Amino acid sequence: MFEEPFAGLHTELANCLVTKLQSYSGWSFRMLQFKHRKYSDAGASEVLAFDTRYMPGIVAAYSPANPDAVIVEEMPRVEILPYAHRNIHSEAAYTAFAILINQIDDTMVKATLQGDHYLGDIAWKMLKTCTGSSHHF
């Protein structure tokens, strides 16, 4: 959907993006749960947004769809995985969007966004604010 080079380090940009996504109060993000993965063997980070309505194992007491739910708003822990274990296909049914940030060299990354256009566009604008190239959020 989007692909663009940015100045920065993949880990710092992913951390910034996750913080912004987690604190965003837009209604369309209420049903999302975020994961932050770091692929140290590939020099890449990935931020995934999952739609909790379709995730297996969500208990009603913790579901954002339940107005009486106990919402746990903690920052997702960074999952450190080998790039070979990047398996978005098994999660595709409930992935709203995914942003992969690959380190190109010491100062530049290439970010790629796939997934829902509306939600992904909001996240992409947030990523741009992490690089200083936009001030929309």
pLDDT digits (tens), the chain, 137 positions: 789 999 999 999 999 999 999 999 888 888 888 999 999 889 999 999 988 877 777 666 556 666 666 556 666 788 888 787 776 557 777 889 999 999 999 999 999 999 999 999 999 999 999 987 554 44
- Residue 133: its pLDDT value, please? 59
- Order the strands of the 2-7 sheet from edge to edge: 2-7, 108-115, 95-103, 44-51, 32-39, 78-80
- pLDDT, tens only, 8-36: 999 999 999 999 999 998 888 888 889 99
pTM of the model: 0.83
Q: Is 35 exposed, middle or buried (0-12, 13-18, 19+ CB in 10 A)?
A: middle
Q: Are the CB atoms for 65 and 33 separated by under 8 Å? A: no
User: Where are the domains positioned within the chain?
Assistant: 2-131
Cβ-proximal residues to 16 (8 Å cutoff; 6+ apart), any chain: 127, 130
| Residue 100: strand pairing partners | 46, 112
